[in-house]
Amino acid sequence: MTALVTRYALALDLINDDQSIADYEQAHEEIWPEVRAHLFSQGVLKMEIYRLGTWLMMVMEVDPSVYNASRMALAGLNNPAIVRWETLMWTYQAPTPWTPTGEKWVPMDKIFDLTA
């Protein structure tokens, strides 16, 4: 039996600086073990980040029986390693014009789905 999976697409920008972009990509070549453990413990099954210029798109597949965005954010605030990681990442990241104040990654609306 196949487990249910929910997929999210989220958007964020990067600061328009070549060195910052290179540093951001390098940080993601091997994320910290605490970050990996945190994501898996929150029901994240798979995560990919794509970049075009300064635009980022994250595709995240989660176990909907475990994943809860608010609970994951709260768990991150209570984890010193995640706080350090997010603080470091925010030095490279910038909100999109559509990002609500105080938020980072924002969900994208799915407008098309080609299914076989």
Please report the domains of the chain, with CATH numbers, ordered by start residue. 18-96 (3.30.70)
Q: Which residues pair with 28 in a beta bridge?
A: none
Confidence band (pLDDT; 50, 70, 90) for 116? confident
Higher pLDDT residue, 115 or 18?
18
Cα dihedral across residues 59, 34, 2, 62: positive or negative: negative
**DSSP string for the chain:** -PPP-EEEEEEEEE-S-HHHHHHHHHHHHS--HHHHHHHHHTTEEEEEEEEETTEEEEEEEE-TTT--HHHHHHHHHT-HHHHHHHHHHHTTEE--TTPPTT--SEEPPP------
Query: Measured between alpha carbons, how far is 17 from 23 in angstroms, rounded to an integer?
Result: 10
Confidence band (pLDDT; 50, 70, 90) for 1? very low
Answer whether residue 2 shows pLDDT above 90: no
Q: What is the structure's pLDDT at 3?
A: 65
**Could you tell me which of 93, 49, 95, 43 has the C-alpha nearest to residue 71?**
43
Helix, strand, or coil (residue 8)? strand
Higher pLDDT residue, 48 or 116?
48
Mean pLDDT of 73-93: 97
